[in-house]
Amino acid sequence: MVSKALEEYLKTMYVLKQQNGKIRVTDIAEKMNCTKPSVNKAIYNLKDNGLLNYESYGTIELTKEGENLAKKILEAYDIVYLFVKDVLNLDEKEAQKEAEKIKSVIADDTINQLARYVHKVLGLNRLDCDYDINKEKCRCCARRVSTK
């Protein structure tokens, strides 16, 4: 089990990998507005938890477990963001801030229930697959129904 702070580092690394094809300490520090020593400490903690591979001054690579956790973190954020933006009608910037705060304290079971509600209210495909945020296979079930 990693802390919420380490989850944020992991999420940032995953996003950087998707955007740039690589993960660098400098990019992480810049994106998270923190120091390189803080990033290095997080890297070694994540490495100790088996979530990434890293050798000093080498490349940073997420393990399969690290990638799966990063996807789960992003999905939880997306669910909360959709709720506060589209159901509670918060503006985009406020919705982003609130979703980040809420996501960091909400339990997986609550996320699962919130996901079912959000998908139902927003006209997304039904989650008849027993949606569970811990199972990647269910992510494909949640696609917006085109209203065009």
Q: What DSSP letter does each residue of 104-146 carry, written as one string?
A: TT--HHHHHHHHHHHHHHTTBPP-TTT--TT-GGGGGG--BPP
Task: Calculate mean pLDDT across residues 65-78.
Answer: 91
Same domain, 13 and 54: yes
Handedness of CA 73, 78, 83, 89 (dihedral sign): positive
pLDDT of residue 144: 37
Same domain, 47 and 89: no
Range of the domain at 136: 71-141
Same domain, 54 and 87: no
The chain-wide mean pLDDT, for the chain, equals 83
Question: Percent of the chain, pLDDT > 90?
Answer: 49
pLDDT higher at 42 or 77 = 42
Same domain, 92 and 118: yes
Can you tell me whether residue 14 is helix, strand or coil? helix
**97 within domain boundaries:** yes
Same domain, 75 and 58: no
**CA nearest 124: which of 96, 72, 83?**
83
pTM of whole model > 0.85?
no
**15 within domain boundaries:** yes
**146 within domain boundaries:** no
Same domain, 79 and 55: no
**Residue 81: what residue type?**
Y
The domain total for the chain is 2
Distance CA 22, CA 61 (A): 8
pLDDT higher at 104 or 141 = 104
**147 within domain boundaries:** no
**Cβ partners under 8 Å of residue 16, min gap 6:** 22, 23, 24, 27, 28, 31
Q: Label residue 24 exposed, middle or buried (CB < 10 Å: 0-12, 13-18, 19+).
A: middle
Task: Calculate mean pLDDT across residues 43-51.
Answer: 96
> For residue 43, what is the domain's CATH number?
1.10.10.10
Confidence band, pLDDT 50/70/90 cuts, at residue 57: confident
Give the pLDDT confidence of 85-125 residue by residue, as tens digits.
888 999 999 999 999 889 888 888 998 888 888 877 776 55
The tokens describing 135, both together, are 């199972």
Same domain, 54 and 84: no
